[in-house]
Amino acid sequence: MAGRIIVKKDKRTVSREIGLEIGSICGKYFLKLNHLHYGYWTDGLEVDIANVHIAQENYANFLISHIPESAKKILDVGCGTGQIAKKLIDKGYMVDCVSPSHFLAGQARKLLGNSSNIFECFYEKLQTENRYDVILFSESFQYIDIEEGLRKTLSLLNPDGYMLICDLFRKKTIEKSDISGGHQLELFQDTVSEYPLTIIKDLDITEKTAPNIDVINDMFKNAVHPTVILVQQLLENRYHFMSKCIKWLYRKKISKINRKYFNYEKTGEKFKKFKSYRLLLYKKSDSR
């Protein structure tokens, strides 16, 4: 097993990792969710929080169905809780994982035991002699610098290897979206075109993934926000002076949180306007 590589993380990275870890804990506890990615909403599947686990399984199966037939050895970059790696191992692939989160790496280790090398580090910092037939980024490419990610991928792929990305990208729009995440699609495509990688598949699954935003919006509106308001009321009632001070001291942060999480303007329709969710399969070609 690979050792733990300690790297200094910036504040944003730490918040993002903690956000994913909280998402994993709450998703598992309240909704029995095992995965940390969007769901793939097939026709006829009712868009309801109770069906998120089905949509997530659909996504995992959809993704796995696009692994090239010749592949044997896969590197799962940003493996989350290790669920996709587990499915791949059960299908007979050899799978190594990369996870910069100590917590998520622990979850993956529990699930995968000795069946996988889990490199606990950022992908950009990964050091290994191993080479892979497929390097898989399931909703993790958005967190990695494009050029650094491509260079690292080319160095770790076997000569006929593939890079498989399933992730959201930002469309080029004048208006700014309040839904965060994703590299700018055109910039990504222009950058990849400079590298010895040939596009094999480019599937737009935005329609199938957009309903996730409606589900999250609904959850924040009808469960998270009312709970936060009640807790605030409770604190004001019990610790009136202290809660007034906190509200005043952190007024800017509180209003930022309200704008970010409790504005209810993040909808599936908006997602379609500003984002493009793609499955992209590239084959390593001869260096030019």
Please give the residue ranges that form the binding site for ligand SAM (CB under 6 A): 17, 20, 35-37, 77-80, 84, 98-101, 104, 122-124, 138-140, 143-144
- Encoded amino acid at 7, one letter: V
Task: State the Cα–Cα distance between residues 87 and 61, nearest whole angstrom.
Answer: 9
Task: State the Cα–Cα distance between residues 2 and 5, nearest whole angstrom.
Answer: 9
With CB atoms as reference, the residue minimizing the distance to ligand SAM is 78
HSE value, Cβ hemisphere, 13 Å, CA-based, for 259: 9
Phi–psi pair at 128, nearest 5 degrees: -155, 150
In whole angstroms, how close is the CB of 30 to ligand SAM at the nearest point?
17
C-alpha dist (Å) from residue 272 to 5, 207, 222, 276: 38, 7, 23, 7
Is 161 in contact with 72 (CB distance < 8 Å)?
Answer: no
CB closer to ligand SAM, 135 vs 197: 135
In whole angstroms, how close is the CB of 1 to ligand SAM at the nearest point?
17
CB closer to ligand SAM, 47 vs 64: 64
CB closer to ligand SAM, 64 vs 252: 64
In whole angstroms, how close is the CB of 288 to ligand SAM at the nearest point?
27
In whole angstroms, how close is the CB of 81 to ligand SAM at the nearest point?
7
Q: Helices 83-90 and 52-64 sit at what angle, rounded to 10 degrees?
A: 50
In whole angstroms, how close is the CB of 278 to ligand SAM at the nearest point?
14
Q: Tell me the β-bridge partners of 198.
A: 283
Residue located via tokens 């499915």: 87
Judged on CB neighbours under 10 Å (0-12, 13-18, 19+), 287 is: exposed
CB closer to ligand SAM, 22 vs 249: 22
DSSP-assigned letter for residue 96 = E
In whole angstroms, how close is the CB of 7 to ligand SAM at the nearest point?
10
In whole angstroms, how close is the CB of 101 to ligand SAM at the nearest point?
4
CB closer to ligand SAM, 78 vs 161: 78
CB closer to ligand SAM, 138 vs 153: 138
Is 229 in contact with 257 (CB distance < 8 Å)?
Answer: no
Task: State the Cα–Cα distance between residues 185 and 277, nearest whole angstrom.
Answer: 10
CB closer to ligand SAM, 78 vs 182: 78
